[in-house]
Structure formats: C-alpha cells, structure tokens
Amino acid sequence: MPDRLQVHINSKGKESNSYDAIVIGSGISGGWAAKELCEKGLKTLVLERGRNVEHIRDYPTASLSRWELPHRGAITRETKVQNPLISKAAGYGEDTMDFFIKDADHPYIQEKPFDWIRGYQVGGKSLTWGRACARWSEFDFTAPERYGYGESFPLGYKEIRDWYSHVEKFIGVCGNYDGIPSMPDGEFLTAYELNAVEQHMQRVLREKFNRHYVSGRWAHITDPKQIHLDQGRAQCLNRNLCMRGCPLGGYFSSNASTLPWAAKTGNLTIRPHSVVHSILYDEQQQKATGVRVIDANTKKATEFYARIIFCNASSLNSNLILLNSTSRRFPNGLGNDNGLLGKYICFHNYRGSMNGDIDGFTDQYYKVSKPAECIVANFRNLEKRDTDFYGGYVIYSGAYREKLSEKNIKPLLGAEYKEAISEPGTWGLYMYMQGETIAKDSNQVWLSREQQDQWGIPLLVTSVGYDENDDKMVKDFLEQGQLMLEAAGVKNINTRDSKQAPGLDIHEMGGVRMGKDPGNSLLNEWNQLHHCRNVFVTDGACMTSTGSQSPSILYMAFTARAVNHAVEELKKRNL
C-alpha cells in the first residue's frame, strides 16, 4: 500500500468547500472509498442524498420483538397503496421500512416495467443487502468474450484476487475452503454448519451430479478477529434480524464498519441531505473540479471541490449523475464521447424458484436459524458452452423444519395445543436462482427532456427487459432444480417462474462499463473515465457483465484497488 499523502491542495477562495477527494454515495462501495481514501491521508467529503444514520443509535427496531411492533411486522394497506413499488422489495416490512425509500421520494419513468429498489440514508443499501460474498472466478470475467455474447473486463481474476483478500479480512466473510473452480476460495471465518437435510443434499449432488452444494460465503462475523474487534464489532448472534440494522455489527455495513473507521482518521466529512446534481468539468484543466449539490431540504445549490471524485451513488443514480454532467466538452454526459453512457444496463435473473417436502430426519434439528444460505455453485457454460443459452447461474438453497407438527391439523386447545406446537414438524427444502443476463445496448437508461424531480434534476427513464436467453435459463434451472430435488427424495415439488420485472433482484449493473477500448467502454482497468481521468466509478455502474455470483464484494474490491491507483497517480501529479 502507498504511503500516506501528506499534502492537501485546495483552491484559494474555495477553501471552506474544498477537499482532496469527494465520494458520491455512502453505501457499500462509497463506504469503502471513504475508508481507503481517509486511511491514505486524503481529506474526504462523502455526499449522501438521504438522512444521517448512525450505527446503533439509529436502528429503532433492532431489538424489538414482533409483538412490540404496531402491526406485528405486517405492512398496512395504506402503506402498500402509497408504495406499490418499494413494498415488493425483499425484506421490506414494518420493521425495516425506515431503510427503504418511499415511492414518492424519487420518481422515475418506466418505459418498460423496472422496479428500482433504493435506500436513501447514510449507509445506503449496505443496511439491507443480502450479504452474499462469493468471489467471481476467471470464468465470470471472460465468458462473454469467449462465447461471443459480450465484452470482457479489462482485467481478470488474478488482478483482483489480492483485493478480494484485502476486503474479506476487513469485513469478515464466513465460508469453507471448498476448492470449487467456479467459486474461488477466500479469506474465510468459520462457516455455518449445514443441517442434516442440507448435508444430505450435499452428498446427493456430489455423487449423482458432480455438483457442489456448500455453505454460502456470507458477510457475517462467526468468530471475530482482532481487526473486527478494533472496529467495535462483535460475533453474529444469528438473530436473523439483519435488515433492521445490527447493533452488534455482526454483519458488514458501511455504518458499522468502513465509515466509523474512516472517521477515526480525522479525515472524513459526511454531508447528508445532499442530492448530487452533476460533476463539474473544467475545459482548460481538462478534468473534473468538483460536484454541484442540491440540499434535499432547502433546495439550495452548493458546489464542492476536489482533486479526485469517486462516483458511488448506486448503479442507476451514478448513470443519472454522469448523464446530467454536461458541458461544452461533454454535451451528452461526462466522458460520453462514444454515446454509450447509460447503455448495456444488466441485472440478475431471479425469476425461478422451487420448494418441496422431504421425509425422514425427524430425529434431527439445527442449532440456530442461520442468516446464511447454502449455495450450488454455477455448473453451466464453464469450460465449454453446454446449453442452448449463454451465461450461468448459481442456486441459493436451504432446508428447514416446519414450526408446527401435523397434530396441529386437528383443532386443539389449552395444554394439548401447547404440546403440539412444541414439536417440530416435517422438513422442507427450497431453491432459487441467480442468473447472468446479457448486457446489450437496448437495455438502457436516459434522462427525460420534459420531467424533473423535486430538486430540478431530470427524471431517469428506464428501458430494461428480459430476452429469450433469460427465458431459456429459467427453464433450465426449473428442470435441473427439480431433478436435483427428486434425486434427494424431495416430494410435492412446487416450481415457479415469477415473471417479476427486472430490478427486484437489486443487482442492477452497467451503463458506465469498463473496457480496454475507449471506443466501446467508458472506464479503463482502474475504473477511471477514459476521457476524464480524475473521476472514478466503482459501484455497479462500472460492470461490463453480470457474472453469476453476487457482485457487492467485487464492487468493494474494485473500489479499494481504484483508490490505491488514484493516490499513487496523485503523488506522481498525474491527476
């Protein structure tokens, strides 16, 4: 890692609003940008459009029992009517809704159905993310180019491997060392143990299909190391109330981890209620000089200045900001010489799911209701293309016992009822897919010319949809999943294609994609805009393809790598 940057250069006359670095967004990647920049000595301003949320203090439902909630956790009809979009989000409920926006908070235009799930507060969606942290493999990085359905990243697994380790050690990721080529091992804490039925599934898939059913790699501290204790975080107690905010810091969030760590350096300033309007570009200097902000409450515009800018507003908002950052040099958006900004939006395909019952194992239970799932590593289109569709998918899965036994079918009262509900019922098992989608120029976002939001910023228009490849992948998952469950003795299998709109996966990516050629990409291998080198984009907007693994930990690794490069370039006076 480079030495700390000792010199802070601020423009005269703008000193009170000048910093070494500005980070737009405080979520998973923005928090990491802040941590790395502050550790390296840069005075850093983090701009967050939402309210402030402080770790522990601002988790109002974290320790409430269900009966202490006004509606026992249920969403009221009024809430659903007022928020038909956000109320569809996974994990949204009476106990978590404070960390999701209301539909009216930030309107947008859907040319095609797209459910844009957002959380506007310090910490962003790091408070409500799913926490899956498997690494991408070389297959994920290279498959689109190898099979001719897209572009490869300008770097591969070997360039990002050590940065994965850097991130994993700090945030705490549990998992086993499974030796799976399509899901590389990492720096793991103790994995969650598979229960009896999950162990049975593991054996069946290995012996009959040569497939891997393993404990998921999850951002939970199962056995804290000194680095986690130094952050003030503690062991996960498996309360499974993660999306309420964890007062223990048992799972990784910006609020519990990276932002407090950055604050300890004395180099961090967080400014909530700051809606970023655009990035400022100076034609004479041929670089970005700062950021224009609209105060969310007063609507007053303010400009802040810095030598480098990290755009981490979450994928679609990063696209929106760059598209709105126009100048004589860049009339179509910052860095957008090739006209590709906002194009090649992609997402993960979650449409397929299934569940069923399995006999036996009635003398077995499990110790905890673990917050991590099992995962079936991608087995499609790895060394060669072996299906009629492109890309692959991973499967998330778990086994559980029903809370009520079959005795409860009968009407019981008093002591009989109490005895009946004390006995566990039959076992069940579920699977759902997370599939790669093809990045294509027809899946895109742009700015409305007619409509603006409440801060005077053009509304984002989304035009993103499924294609035939997605349908074929769902069909394959439903067929293969059923075969695997049947082989394990699962019965009463119910398979589903939800047909849900894109966006509910909460893994939107692309629009500011990385690439080797400035003619067909916006960012280089260091996440810099090709044509504005002091602006870095390291959230999901930078993605060239989706892979099959969850992307959040890759954003963190990209961010740490990009900050390291940016600081070295600053020291060389190249930025």
**Looking at this protein, which amino acid is placed at residue 211?**
R
The model's confidence at residue 9, banded by pLDDT at 50, 70 and 90, is: very low
Query: In the predicted model, what is the mean pLDDT of residues 514-528?
Result: 97
Least confident among 270-279, 336-345, 403-412, 425-434: 403-412
* Arithmetic mean of pLDDT over the chain: 94
CA distances from 111 to 86, 321, 444, 446 (A): 18, 20, 10, 11
pLDDT reported for residue 410: 64
* pLDDT value of residue 422: 73
β partners of residue 23: 46, 310
Contacts of 547 (CB under 8 A, 6+ apart): 136, 140, 141, 143, 436
pLDDT value at residue 240: 92
In the chain, % of residues over pLDDT 70: 96
Q: Measure the CA angle with vertex 261, ends 26 and 322; round to 5°.
A: 25
pLDDT(69) > 90: yes
CA distance 11 to 26: 25
Q: What pLDDT is attached to residue 437?
A: 98
Q: Provide mean pLDDT across the span 309-337.
A: 98
Angle at 398 between CA 397 and CA 402, to 5 degrees: 140
Contact indicator for 329, 283 with CB cutoff of 8 Å: yes
Annotate 222-261 with DSSP letters as a single string: SS--HHHHHTT-------S-GGG--TT--B--IIIIIHHH
pLDDT tens for 475-516 read 999 999 999 999 999 999 999 999 999 999 999 999 999 999
Domains and CATH numbers, the chain: 1-159+252-348+440-464+509-575 (3.50.50.60), 182-215+350-435+466-500 (no CATH)
Task: Name the residue among 459, 381, 305 with its Cα closest to residue 137.
Answer: 381
List C-alpha distances in Å: 571 to 41, 277, 562, 564, 565.
12, 29, 14, 11, 10
Pairwise CA distance, residues 402 & 361, whole Å:
13
Structure confidence at residue 405 (pLDDT)? 53
The candidate with the shortest Cα–Cα distance to 262, out of 560, 568, 51, 488, is: 560
Position 6 scores a pLDDT of: 35
How confident is the model at residue 7, as a pLDDT?
33
pLDDT digits (tens, 9 = 90+) for 189-212: 999 999 999 999 999 999 999 999
pLDDT bin (cut points 50, 70, 90) of residue 263 is very high
Q: pLDDT for 468-483, tens place per residue?
A: 999 999 999 999 999 9
State the Cα–Cα distance between residues 82 and 462, nearest whole angstrom: 21
pLDDT at residue 417, rounded to an integer: 72
pLDDT of 2 higher than 50: no
pLDDT value, residue 25:
98
pTM for the structure as a whole: 0.95
Radius of gyration of the chain (CA): 24
Confidence of residue 368 (pLDDT cuts 50, 70, 90): confident
Distance between CA atoms of residues 250 and 479, nearest Å: 37
pLDDT tens for residues 383-418? 999 999 999 999 999 999 877 655 455 666 778 777
Nearest Cα to Cα of residue 257 among 119, 126, 63: 126
Query: What confidence score (pLDDT) does residue 107 get?
Result: 97
| pLDDT over 90 percentage in the chain | 91
Using the predicted structure, report yes or no on whether residue 365 has a pLDDT greater than 90. Answer: no
Looking at residue 12, its pLDDT comes to 44
| Token code pair at residue 18 | 């000048």
What pLDDT, on the 0 to 100 scale, is given for residue 10?
36
What average pLDDT score do residues 538-552 get? 98
Q: By C-alpha distance, which of 28, 310, 347 is closest to 167?
A: 28
Tokens 């949809």 locate to 465
Q: Say how far apart CA 393 and CA 217 lie, in whole Å.
A: 16
